[in-house]
């Protein structure tokens, strides 16, 4: 027993001593003291002749000190000891290269490849040795010979794809990765990530071309159809992407899930036509599809959003959409399940069809349903309060705003309710209370509410002390309420009276801006542009200047179809008003109109 313990202690001491030598050798190597490191690594290698790390480090030290003869001697000895280790020929070639003996180095590299065995590990290890030396051609040759030896052309396709990527050979890179998918279709997500990370815009052309070629040879390859769909999505060509996913859905006899997901992507990117087409395809599958209800719901929402964003809707289009909402509710009933749809229908009735009474009726019924989602209930109360305000029922409006404020005290929903309540007080002339609320809302977690609250607080502060009666501000607030209530003719008269009673007032640019907004709401875009342009020309340093400039650029882009003018205005926005909250979006719009690819 004593002998065993003694031997165990000696062995532990030797291990500890060996570890100490390895740490010292590593320290010498990292400090560039290669002669000292060489002595230590030679000692470690002699003790552990099968340790590749010690051998490689010893060789690196000899090369660093240009001890070429000694280095060649050690390499030859190692090759005699282990002739099947083809990586030793790479080390030999590296030695020749350091002596500028290129042909002899190349011969060693070829010998390494020629002596390959039918072992995937050895093949990969040799290829990696070439990669470390950035000898990608030899690494490619290694994998190609390995594929022949193993009689599997695609076994190293993924590795080859990476090598061709490093070489910048996009056609061969694409070909290799597609071969890799033929070998293992589960890698499609990884391959997509690689393409997305390294592709330039034009590289997608090559991928699309090769996919078409493969699909022509064999159209029953779902992974290539899926990848082609992905290419179309990257290019925001959702129409062609939809064609592919529908084909895939039919071929695989799926339930429409893939098509539904594409509809969501297209809708988020404002390709409303394709999104609607996708949702309607899913809806046609009937109730057996688990996506049926959501597809019907989303189709309605996208149609409503398309009308709201397009600004060019007609009354017959609005009525047709209203009928679709009614059909949906007749099919699925009116309950907490369909409360979101009822909320949208109420908005359509109130803001587009000017049917306030029906909107109020819909929301009043909705609030009576049991177990309605709290956020939908709060949104319904906010909308109902707005509609009461449009009708002039101030008390009902403030009561509903206050209920939401109380229920969602520290939530953005509550902040929104408090903002609208403060705005109502502003409309009715209670400026001091309104400003106090706006000052509190400056700290809102919602950046949008915070910015609006700051604007309103500063606006009241700037204009409240201009005269002892604050009559000008009162008239302007009344005009804003009239605009909110869609009483545009009365609002124009109120604003004109303000200009007559208070000539050359600090509110002049605000009056002009509000008139521009009225023209815009009336869809008289030419007159809106005139108003905003006058602010840009005559009130460039006033607070509404950046708002007017951004509105003007959007009018030229969306409605007057003068893209060059829109680009000019967007550029002016982010150059001359770089501190504006609109500057980032203006730069983005400018780049899109210029044709840049925006991720």
DSSP codes of every residue in 154-180:
TTTHHHHHHHHHHHT-HHHHHHHHHHH
Q: What tokens appear for 2 in the block?
A: 């004593």
Q: Find the angle CA(12)-CA(16)-CA(18) to the nearest 5 degrees.
A: 115
- For residue 186, with 0-12 CB atoms within 10 Å meaning exposed, 13-18 middle and 19 or more buried, which class applies? exposed
Query: Given this model, what pLDDT does residue 10 score?
Result: 42
Residue with tokens 């090598």: 163
- Do residues 75 and 58 touch, judged by C-beta distance below 8 A? no
pLDDT at 325: 95
Please give the distance of CA 302 from its chain centroid, rounded to a whole number: 20
Q: What is the pLDDT of residues 283-316, one digit of tens each?
A: 999 888 899 999 999 999 999 888 877 656 788 9
Q: Do 124 and 94 form a contact (C-beta atoms < 8 A)? A: no
Q: Yes or no: say if 400 and 378 are a contact pair by the CB < 8 Å rule.
A: no
CA distance 90 to 76: 12
Q: Residue 212 is encoded by which pair of tokens?
A: 């078409």
Number of Cα atoms under 13 Å in the Cβ half of residue 212: 9
Q: Which of 59-63, 200-204, 272-276 has the lowest mean pLDDT?
A: 59-63
**Residue carrying the six token digits 């399940």:** 337
Rounded mean pLDDT, 130-141: 94
pLDDT in tens, 177-197: 999 999 999 999 999 999 999
**Share of residues in the chain with pLDDT > 70 (%):** 95
Q: Flag the least confident range among 16-30, 80-94, 207-221, 527-541.
A: 16-30
Q: Convert 523-547 to b/e letters by CB count within 10 Å (16 or more is b).
A: eebeebbebbbbbbeebeebebbbb
| Residue (of 340, 478, 502) closest to 332 by Cα position | 340
State the pTM of this model: 0.74
Q: Is the pLDDT of residue 281 over 60?
A: yes
Report d(CA 137, CA 416) in Å as an integer.
63
Q: Does the pLDDT of residue 5 top 80, yes or no? A: no
Q: Residue 15: pLDDT band by 50, 70, 90 thresholds?
A: very low
Average pLDDT of the segment spanning 66-85: 86
pLDDT at 451 over 70: yes
Q: What are the phi and psi torsion angles at 87 (to 5°)?
A: -65, -25
What would the DSSP string read from start to end of 255-269?
Answer: -SHHHHHHHHHHHHT
């Amino acid at each position: 027993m004593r002998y065993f313990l003694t031997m165990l202690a000696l062995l532990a001491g030797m291990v500890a001593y060996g570890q100490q030598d390895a740490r010292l050798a590593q320290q010498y190597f990292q400090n560039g003291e290669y002669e000292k490191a060489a002595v230590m690594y030679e000692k470690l290698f002699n003790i552990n002749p099968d340790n590749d790390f010690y051998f490689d480090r010893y060789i690196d030290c000899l090369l660093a000190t240009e001890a070429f003869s000694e280095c060649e001697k050690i390499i030859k000895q190692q090759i005699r000891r282990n002739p099947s280790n083809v990586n030793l020929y790479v080390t030999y070639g590296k030695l020749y290269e350091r002596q500028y003996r290129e042909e002899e180095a190349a011969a060693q590299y070829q010998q390494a490849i020629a002596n390959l065995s039918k072992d995937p590990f050895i093949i990969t290890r040799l290829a990696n040795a070439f990669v470390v030396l950035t000898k990608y051609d030899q690494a490619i040759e290694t994998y190609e010979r390995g594929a022949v030896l193993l009689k599997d052309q695609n076994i190293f396709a993924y590795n080859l794809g990476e090598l061709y990527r490093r070489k910048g050979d996009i056609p061969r890179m694409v070909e290799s990765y597609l071969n890799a998918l033929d070998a293992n279709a589960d890698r499609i997500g990884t391959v997509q990530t690689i393409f997305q990370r390294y592709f330039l815009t034009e590289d997608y052309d090559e991928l699309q071309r090769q996919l078409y070629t493969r699909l022509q040879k064999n159209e029953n390859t779902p992974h290539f159809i899926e990848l082609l769909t992905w290419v179309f999505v990257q290019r925001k060509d959702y129409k062609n992407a939809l064609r592919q996913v529908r084909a895939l859905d039919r071929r695989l006899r799926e339930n429409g899930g893939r098509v539904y997901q594409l509809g969501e992507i297209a809708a988020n990117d404002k390709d409303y036509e394709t999104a609607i087409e996708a949702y309607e395809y899913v809806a046609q599958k009937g109730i057996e599809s688990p996506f049926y209800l959501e597809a019907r719901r989303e189709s309605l929402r996208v149609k409503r959003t398309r009308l709201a964003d397009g600004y060019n809707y007609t009354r017959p289009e609005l009525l047709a959409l209203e009928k679709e909402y009614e059909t949906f509710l007749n099919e699925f009933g009116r309950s907490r399940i369909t409360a979101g749809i009822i909320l949208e229908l109420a908005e359509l009735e109130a803001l587009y069809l000017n049917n306030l009474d029906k909107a109020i009726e819909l929301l009043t019924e909705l609030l009576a349903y049991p177990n309605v989602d709290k956020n939908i209930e709060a949104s319904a109360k906010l909308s109902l309060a707005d509609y009461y305000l449009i009708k002039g029922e101030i008390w009902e409006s403030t009561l509903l705003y206050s209920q939401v404020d109380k229920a969602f005290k520290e939530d953005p929903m509550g902040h929104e309710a408090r903002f609208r309540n403060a705005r109502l007080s502003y409309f009715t002339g209670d400026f001091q209370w309104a400003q106090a609320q706006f000052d509190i809302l400056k700290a809102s977690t919602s950046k949008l509410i915070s910015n609006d609250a700051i604007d309103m607080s500063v606006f009241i502060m700037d204009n409240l002390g201009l005269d002892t009666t604050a009559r000008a501000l009162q008239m302007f607030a009344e005009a804003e309420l009239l605009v909110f209530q869609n009483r545009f003719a009365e609002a124009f008269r109120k604003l004109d009276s303000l200009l007559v009673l208070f000539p050359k007032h600090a509110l002049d640019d605000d009056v002009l801006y509000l008139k521009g907004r009225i023209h815009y709401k009336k869809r008289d875009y030419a007159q809106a542009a005139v108003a905003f342009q006058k602010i840009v020309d005559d009130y460039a340093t006033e607070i509404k200047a950046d708002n007017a400039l951004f509105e003007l650029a959007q009018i030229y882009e969306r409605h007057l179809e003068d893209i060059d003018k829109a680009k000019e205005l967007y550029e002016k926005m982010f150059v001359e008003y770089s501190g504006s909250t609109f500057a980032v979006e203006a730069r983005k719009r400018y780049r899109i109109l210029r044709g840049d690819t925006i991720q």
